[in-house]
Amino acid sequence: MFHKFFKTDWLLLLAVLLLLGISMAVLYSISMSTASEGGLSIFWRQLIFILVGLVFMLVFSKINYQTLKLRSTPIYFLTLLVLLAVLIFGRTIRGTAGWIGVGSFHIQPVEIAKLSLIIFLASFISQKKMELEETGRLIASLVLSGAMILLVLKQPDFGSAMVLVGIWLATTFVSGISRKKIFIMILTGVVIAFAGWFVLAPYQKDRVLSLIHPETIDPRGAGYNVIQAMIAVGSGGLTGKGIGHGSQSQLNFLPEKHTDFIFASIAEELGLFGDLLVIGLYLLMFYRMRIIALNAPDNFSYLVVVGIMSMFFVQIFENIGMNIGVMPVTGIPLPFLSYGGSSLIMVLSSIGILNNIYSHQESVVKSEEY
Q: How far apart are CA 337 and CA 155, in angstroms?
A: 24
- Alpha carbon 196 to its chain's center: 20
Confirm whether 3 is domain-assigned.
Answer: no
Are 263 and 334 a contacting pair, CB within 8 Å? yes
pLDDT of residue 242: 75
Confirm whether 2 is domain-assigned.
Answer: no
Confirm whether 356 is domain-assigned.
Answer: yes
pLDDT of residue 36: 54
Strand positions, DSSP E, the chain: 91-93, 96-102, 105-107
Point out which residues pair with 37 in neighbouring strands: 40
User: DSSP states of 9-25 as a string?
Assistant: -HHHHHHHHHHHHHHHH
Confirm whether 194 is domain-assigned.
Answer: yes
pLDDT of residue 326: 79
Confirm whether 164 is domain-assigned.
Answer: yes
Confirm whether 245 is domain-assigned.
Answer: yes
pLDDT of residue 215: 52
pLDDT of residue 182: 72
Q: How far apart are CA 147 and CA 288, in angstroms?
A: 32
pLDDT of residue 210: 55
Are 258 and 265 a contacting pair, CB within 8 Å? yes
pLDDT of residue 364: 46
pLDDT of residue 157: 83
Cβ-count burial of 261 within 10 angstroms (0-12 exposed, 13-18 middle, 19+ buried)?
buried
pLDDT of residue 350: 97
Residue 70 backbone phi and psi in degrees, to 5: -65, -30
Residue 189 backbone phi and psi in degrees, to 5: -60, -40
Total of domains in the chain? 1
pLDDT of residue 273: 92
pLDDT of residue 18: 96
- pTM, two decimals, is 0.86
| Domain enclosing residue 25, as ranges | 8-369
Which residues, including other chains, have CB under 8 Å from residue 72's CB and lie 6 or more apart? 119, 120, 122, 123, 124
Q: What is the mean pLDDT of each run of 10 residues along the chain (370 residues)?
A: 64 96 90 59 90 96 92 94 87 68 76 95 86 78 91 86 92 82 75 68 60 52 69 76 69 73 88 92 97 94 96 94 82 91 94 94 46
Confirm whether 1 is domain-assigned.
Answer: no
